[in-house]
Amino acid sequence: MTLFDWTGYLGFPNMRIVRMVKTCKLFIDGQWTNSSDGKTFPAVNPFNQETWATVPAATEADVDAAIAAARRAYETKWRHTTGVERATLLNRLANLIEENAEPMSVLETTDNGKVIRETRSQMLFAARLFRFFAGYADKIYGSVIPLDQPQIVDYAVREPYGVIAVITAWNSPISLLSNKLPAALAAGNCVVVKPSEHASVTTLEICKLVEKAGFPPGVINVVTGAGDVGRWLVASKGVDKISFTGSPTVGREIAATAGRNLRPVTLELGGKSPNIIFADADLDKAVIGALAGIFGATGQTCIAGSRLLVQRPVYQQVVESLADRAGKIVMGDPRDPATEMGTAANEPQFNRIMEFIKAARNDGARLVTGGEPAREGALAKGLFIKPTIFAEVNNQMRVAREEIFGPVLSIIPFEEEDEAVTMGNDTEYGLACGVWTQNLSRAMRMIRSMRTGVVWVNTYRMVSAQAPFGGMKNSGFGRERGEQGLLEFTVSKNVMIDFSDEKRDPFAIKV
């Protein structure tokens, strides 16, 4: 039994749709409430351009109320819970997310146009992450530290920060939230979440599961709205740490504001990731990896392999194979399990992608396939862009330098390994990299040479709860997932205990 009401079938095999949310509310201190000034904004389905829900636009007073609720919950309840108690609640929430994966995935797909096969997978992975961090909740160990002074015991413990501001992007709301929320909660923090105004509904809906799981009021709060809501949240001195996923432009603003308040931040920002195919690679596998790397999620992912570097001897073969396979990608209603690629998530992003395609043509890149909106039949009202591939791209072209966040692949030839390294690292970003080769020595050299937070070898876009994720350079700093993702939400406290009877000189340092 789920928490959602079914209205029947969409007509797709084994596919049901939930009754769409007509009115959403803020979730503050365990209560559902309207914005204090009553203002709302529409949630628009990018498949048909219809408004399908209304979302409250939080005021500064609402943000302050959410932060205050989180602080009260932290001081009076959450910081006093044991790891076992926190783990129990996190596991309950994981079970509820898994039980409601189907209706939640429909909501997510309706909100941002990502295909149902991916949003459902993301819901199940979210449950996995909640269980993973639940397992850590009672295992946040400290360490005993041997000192030069034998009659002093020294140990270090890790404690929660207190109140965490979590800000997520529109491309994968629940997936991004699940990289942060369970780790913050397991560590003993309370949280105020601000999702993107372009995809807020599922983040609010998950609070129904939070209620059912039995979390104390105020431990998890959600405020929605545009950029001003995020700015109020980040600028508040009632917040102890900020975790943000989004663009480098906004990340810089957040880091600057946090710096003025001396608040730590974790930033998971953009990427312009090189996917590098050597001539000795398994080309069938590499081509599939290249397709998934850029056209999965309609290219709207920070780890998109948007720069495909291909060694000259196999360059033309790879270009032709990619063009053939890209032309067969199925576009359609993202809620249909047969659909392989969905829409741009919103109209501003659609326009941005089309501007990049125009710029690539003007810069002299050769259009191999795509390059225009898809308007045929059932696609007529949607924000669809055909899978687009440019060949003979120069690494200095705008299409190869800037993050597009769309289904646009730039294929760049290279001659030797050193050139691939230089070209792959010649970017302001450093999030991910793919290497395709059957030469183990080359793979190990590439892993060591690439300046990215993630290196995939003979695979791409693979994720795991245990594996830390994050970038270098303008792709941000800090890590999510894995043990490192948990430690991001803790601060170290050192303790010294002198058990000697010695009377020490208070003005001397004992060494």
Looking at 118, 268, 340, 488, which residue is catalytic? Answer: 268
Looking at 302, 433, 480, 488, which residue is catalytic? Answer: 302
Name residue, tokens 């997936």: 175
302 is catalytic: yes
Taking the C-alpha atoms of residue 352 and residue 381, their distance in angstroms, rounded to an integer, is: 18
Q: Dihedral angle at the C-alpha atoms of 385, 391, 392, 396, nearest 10 degrees?
A: 40
- Residues near 325 by beta carbon (within 8 Å), at least 6 away in sequence: 287, 288, 291
Taking the C-alpha atoms of residue 96 and residue 92, their distance in angstroms, rounded to an integer, is: 6
Q: With CA atoms as reference, report the closest residue to 410 among 331, 356, 333, 464.
A: 356
Q: Where are the alpha helices (DSSP H) in 137-271?
A: 173-186, 201-213, 227-235, 248-260
The C-alpha angle with vertex 507 and arms to 504 and 511, in degrees rounded to 5, equals 65
Task: State how far Cα 46 lies from the chain centre.
Answer: 20
Burial class (CB in 10 A: 0-12, 13-18, 19+), 443: middle
Question: Between the CA of residue 37 and those of 57, 203, 219, 239, what are the distances in Å?
Answer: 9, 21, 24, 23
The catalytic residues are 268, 302
